[in-house]
A and B are shown apart, each in its own frame.
Chain A
Amino acid sequence: MRYLLIEDNETLARAVVDRLVLDGHVVDHAEDLATAADYTATTDYDLILLDIMLPDGDGRTFLAQRRSAKSRTPVIVLTARSEVSDRVGLLDLGADDYMVKPIDFSELEARCRAVLRRRGGEARNVISFGDLEFDSLAGTLKIDGSETSLRTRELRLFEIFINAPNQLFSKSKLVDRLFSYDEEASENAIEVYVGRLRRRLEGSNVSITTVRGLGYKLEQR
């Protein structure tokens, strides 16, 4: 998936970009509306993440322009402003969803997925590995022609693995990626989810192997 992040804060932008790249997305970063306009003129994005307060204008102006240009690219607004007064206005202006800073990345991922899924159909993100095909938007796993649906955290976990096959993930890294920080999550929970995923992967030539003491990785046998 190709994302455009419009955000003037360098640190925040880098963190968001890093996180999204980890999830296997291609992310362009524009620091202001002018740059964003240049990007959107030349590239089709699957999703735009838009900050409201930008050095050369208000994100809402950008929203309004996109809307009048009949652009169909979904937009999630990242705002530091009060959600009470801005919500109605943002959604009215054509934002598909919004998040209030500071952003919980798990929630951001969930919202991005929800928005993309709602826009549905045309945007597909199918990854093949070994003898399986994985559609991260639909959350389906096809092994040898038979399809199974993955539930939330299994889906997230599998996404993490399939975006970086053969890469070793420590349990603590996985906890960071899988749970928000306000959730009480132990590494045992990771073992539970990995166990479930393994059951799903039975019959395929792809498996999650345990590297004792270090973590897990997705491998083709």
Chain B
Amino acid sequence: MSGPRTTGSIRQRLLVLLLLGAAVIAVLLYLVVQSVARQIAQESQDNILAASAISILDSTRVKGGELSIDLPYSALSMLGSVTDERAFYAIRLNDGFLSGYEDLPVSGDYGGAATAFRSATYLGEDIRIASTRRSFSTDEGQALLEISVAQTLAGMNRTLARITRISLLVGFGFFVLSALMALFIARSTIRPLHRLTESVSRRGPSDLRPVAAPVPSEMAPLVLSLNKLMARLQYSLTRSEDFIAEAAHRVRTPLAILRTQAEITLRRVEKPENRQAVREMIRAIDESSRTAGQLLDHAMVTFRTDSLSREDVALHALVQDTVDRLGPLSELKEVSIETARLDEAVVPGDAILLQNALHNLLDNAIKYASRNCRVTVSLARSPSQATITVSDTGPGFPDGGSVKLLDRFARGDNAGSVVGSGLGLTIVKEIVLAHGGEMELKNNEEGGACVVLSFPLA
């Protein structure tokens, strides 16, 4: 049986989607953490700079009409408190330089706020400048004092590098964690499907009960359809079997009546040529009925081998049973049927089919064997296989057993007037093959046909 066409795996698709999602979120996470952390780092640096500038401004008072600036030690020392930063400041009055670093870049745009910040380059290094201002009344009138405090960004850059590293780690860690979770999710999502598959494939060929185990709601429609399909299948299987049985009944009953009528007629007919005609009619009826039977048998065999059940079948019991059942018939035909050797052997398979095969084979042997000959059945068991040998002391197969005999409707040359459809051996062969076995036709050295069936043991 070829596998169904597939369009990729749900699990893989799920995994890829989850991983893609995780990657996107990881990148976003990285960017967000990065930018938030940057902002916070920048803000905290700005806050320190602003605090420094304001502390200088706060230390300024007007003393005797003049500005007195008592630069607090902490104003600059706080800048280098966490990391060693170079610090700069400039005190400007009405845009004129008072103290500190004269060439420190001037403040940025205040934009209404009390403090202005800007980034600049000074003495070859990137710096951040915070400026604040206040107006004082001095002897010379209103004066606008502006304090700018600046700091290099070495520590800040180190912090940012660390933040980048951490956010990269966070992003990566998140991705790894998500990947693991994605694997887990994909797996556990698929698990109910696996379970369903298992529970369905574990079933025997004739187990068509609906799936009763609970499944996730998304799978409910699938299971519902599956159950419906199985119900339909069950129905059609039942119908097939019924149909075959019905067909057999429909064909055989009129044939039976016809045959009976013919037989009754025969009793009344005296003229030899008329009697001969009726006899031939009866024989023709027999042949039709047998052919119909075997055709139906063949249909049944085909039907059953399609979904071969594999129960343990005790071949020895089956052989004995079949031989026993054919006892009356062989007695009638004055053919003796005996079991020579009967090893115990159990093979996996369909008991009904195996019985049918054996029955066909022995029926054949009895039918084609001439009066007073002997049919011997034996069952031998080797470590790997069970072999059923049916041989007779009859005329043997023409051509020493040819493959042609196995073709449907082919009959041996010696069949003569014997009623038989020729389907018998075909059915046997099909059953044997379905069980993984082999069938061999040959003639015994001392004469007579021999059929060897071998079945692999479990």
Contact = CB atoms under 8 A, between A and B. Distances in A.
Contact between chain A and chain B defined by CB under 8 Å: yes
Interface of A: 9, 11-12, 14-16, 18, 53, 80-88, 97, 100-107, 110-111, 113-114, 152-153, 170, 172-173, 176, 180-184
B249 A81 contact: yes
9 contacts: A9-B253, A80-B248, A82-B293, A82-B297, A83-B293, A83-B359, A88-B352, A110-B332, A181-B286
A103 B256 contact: yes
B327 interface: yes
A173 B253 CA distance: 26
B234 to A, nearest CB: 16
B227 interface: no
Contact of A107 (B272, B304, B328, B416): B328
A161 B301 CA distance: 44
Contact of B252 (A16, A100, A172, A182): A100
A53 B256 CA distance: 14
B48 to A, nearest CB: 95
B93 interface: no
A82 B300 contact: yes
B255 interface: yes
Contacts of B251: 80
B418 interface: yes
Interface stretch (B80-88, B196-204, B259-267): B259-267
Given A102-B255, A110-B329, A172 B352 contact: no
Given A152-B331, A152-B334, A181-B279, A102 B356 contact: no
B328 A114 contact: yes
A101 B245 contact: no
Contacts of B60: none
Contacts of A102: 252, 255-256, 258-260, 285-286, 289
B333 interface: yes
Contact of A111 (B241, B244, B257, B328): B328
Interface residues of B, number: 53
B433 to A, nearest CB: 17
Interface in B334-366: 334, 351-353, 355-356, 359
Given A80-B252, A82-B244, A184-B416, A97 B325 contact: yes
Contacts of B331: 110, 114, 152
Contacts of A172: 270, 272, 275
A182 B419 contact: yes
B328 A113 contact: yes
Interface string B353-386: 1011001000000010000000000000000000
Contacts of B353: 84
A105 B263 contact: yes
A86 B296 CA distance: 13
Nearest to B246: A81
Contacts of B244: 82, 85
A84 B297 contact: yes
Given A82-B245, A83-B356, A102-B260, 10 more contacts: A9-B257, A53-B249, A80-B248, A80-B256, A82-B297, A100-B293, A101-B252, A110-B332, A173-B267, A176-B267
A101 B332 contact: no
Given A80-B248, A85-B241, A11 B351 contact: no
A153 B371 CA distance: 12
Task: Pick the 8 closest A-B CB pairs, nearest first.
Answer: A15-B260, A102-B256, A80-B252, A101-B256, A110-B328, A102-B259, A114-B328, A182-B419
Nearest to B252: A80
Interface in B291-315: 293, 296-297, 300-301, 304
A11 to B, nearest CB: 5
A81 B289 CA distance: 12
Given A82-B244, A111-B328, A152-B334, A18 B264 contact: yes
B289 to A, nearest CB: 5
Contacts of B263: 15, 105, 176
A170 B266 CA distance: 13
B245 A86 contact: yes
B245 A81 contact: yes
A123 to B, nearest CB: 17
Nearest to B416: A184
A180 B258 CA distance: 16
Nearest to B353: A84
A65 to B, nearest CB: 22
B417 interface: yes
B282 interface: yes
A75 B25 CA distance: 80
B300 to A, nearest CB: 5
A104 B262 CA distance: 12
A104 B442 CA distance: 31
Contacts of B325: 97
B61 interface: no
Nearest to B250: A80
Contacts of B261: 11, 15
B333 A84 contact: no
B266 A176 contact: yes
A85 B279 contact: no
Nearest to B329: A107
A80 B332 contact: no
B283 interface: yes
Contacts of B304: 84
B286 to A, nearest CB: 6
B255 to A, nearest CB: 5
Q: Which of B256, B261, B297, B325 has the most CB of A within 10 A?
A: B256
Interface in B397-452: 416-419
Contact of A106 (B241, B327, B332): B332
Interface string B47-88: 000000000000000000000000000000000000000000
B244 to A, nearest CB: 6
A18 B244 CA distance: 31
Contacts of A86: 245
B415 to A, nearest CB: 11
